[in-house]
Amino acid sequence: MNVTIVTGASRGTHVVAVARSEEPLRCLRIKYGEERVVTVQGDLAEEETVKQIISTCIERFGRIDNIIANAGVLEPVEQISLANIPAWKKLFDINFFSIVSLVAQALPYVKQSKGNVILVSSGASTKAYYGWGAYGTSKAAINQFALQLASEETDVKCVAVAPGVVDTQMQEDIRDKFGKNMTPEGHKRFTDLKRNQELLDPIVPATIYANLAIKGINANINGKYLRYNDDALADTGYWPSLPGAKANPGAAAAADAYAEAYAEAEAIGHAAPGAYALAASEDDCASIFCHMYCGLMISAGSECPQNTTDNYSGPYEAGCLCGSDDTTFLSYYDSCMSCGWTLWKYYSGCLENALVECASENTVYTATEPTGTSRCSTTLSYSYTVDPNINYSTYV
Question: Catalytic site residues?
Answer: 121, 135, 139
Task: Tell me how far apart the alpha carbons of residues 153 and 111 are, in angstroms, rounded to a whole number.
Answer: 8
234-265 burial, b if ≥16 CB within 10 A, otherwise e?
bebebbbbbeeebbbebbbbbbebbbebbeeb
Task: Tell me how far apart the alpha carbons of residues 32 and 38 are, in angstroms, rounded to a whole number.
Answer: 10
Q: Is 251 helix (H, G, I), strand (E, B) or coil?
A: helix
Task: Assess contact for 4 and 213: CB atoms under 8 A.
Answer: yes
Angle at 134 between CA 181 and CA 167, to 5 degrees: 70
Furthest-apart CA pair in the chain: how many Å?
69
Closest CA to 118 of 215, 19, 38, 27: 215
Closest CA to 230 of 160, 287, 176: 160
Q: Is 337 helix (H, G, I), strand (E, B) or coil?
A: helix
Helix, strand, coil share of the chain (percent; to 5): 45, 15, 40
List alpha helices for the chain, DSSP H: 22-32, 47-61, 85-92, 98-113, 133-152, 169-176, 184-195, 203-215, 231-235, 251-267, 273-280, 283-293, 330-333, 341-347
Task: Assess contact for 121 and 69: CB atoms under 8 A.
Answer: no
Task: Tell me how far apart the alpha carbons of residues 253 and 223 are, in angstroms, rounded to a whole number.
Answer: 32
Angle at 168 between CA 31 and CA 146, to 5 degrees: 90
Task: Tell me how far apart the alpha carbons of residues 95 and 14 are, in angstroms, rounded to a whole number.
Answer: 24
Task: Tell me how far apart the alpha carbons of residues 396 and 390 are, in angstroms, rounded to a whole number.
Answer: 19
